[in-house]
Amino acid sequence: MYVFENATVCFSEDSDSLIHATFRDGSEKCYGNPFANDSKKLWDTVDAIRTHTTPICTVKTAMAHTALIGLLHQMATYRPFPASEIVSNASDDGVFVRELFEQMYHAYESTSLLSELA
């Protein structure tokens, strides 16, 4: 579930696997199943090559998206988990953070970032 200023968007593979939006005014919109046609982008690209047409997502549009994600990563501040919370046990579970699920769930419930909870 994503809660935005003007709508709440829900998706669950456990239910109908559809993306549903409920807007502040009470109206609703179904965006369908995001996994209904997993290979569509690939075949759209193949068709564009075969027909010598421009694909929907071009290198130019992909570069803009990639640049934005890069800038977001540069602007983000990272805070490592406390060493006391990191468990390293290569023979069993590998490396993990104690109670990370609970921390993330608490952050979700309080609409906070993990870094804001400490």
Q: Which residues contact 45 (CB under 8 A, 6 or more apart)?
A: 55
Task: Going residue by residue through the chain, which has 118 residues, state the pLDDT in tens, using 9 for 90 and above.
Answer: 898 999 999 998 877 889 999 999 999 999 999 888 888 888 998 999 999 999 888 888 889 999 999 998 898 877 788 889 898 876 776 888 889 999 999 999 998 888 788 6
Note whether residue 117 is domain-resident: no
The model's pTM is 0.47
Query: Tell me, what's the pLDDT at 113?
Result: 84
Query: Quick one: 21 and 46 in the same domain?
Result: no
Q: Which residues contact 57 (CB under 8 A, 6 or more apart)?
A: 41
Q: How far is CA 60 from CA 9, 39, 55, 64, in A?
A: 29, 22, 11, 7
Query: Quick one: 70 and 102 in the same domain?
Result: no
Note whether residue 94 is domain-resident: yes
Note whether residue 116 is domain-resident: no
Note whether residue 115 is domain-resident: no
Query: Quick one: 28 and 1 in the same domain?
Result: yes
Dmax over CA atoms of the chain, in Å, equals: 58
Residue span of the structural domain in which 11 resides = 1-36
Query: Tell me, what's the pLDDT at 56?
Result: 82
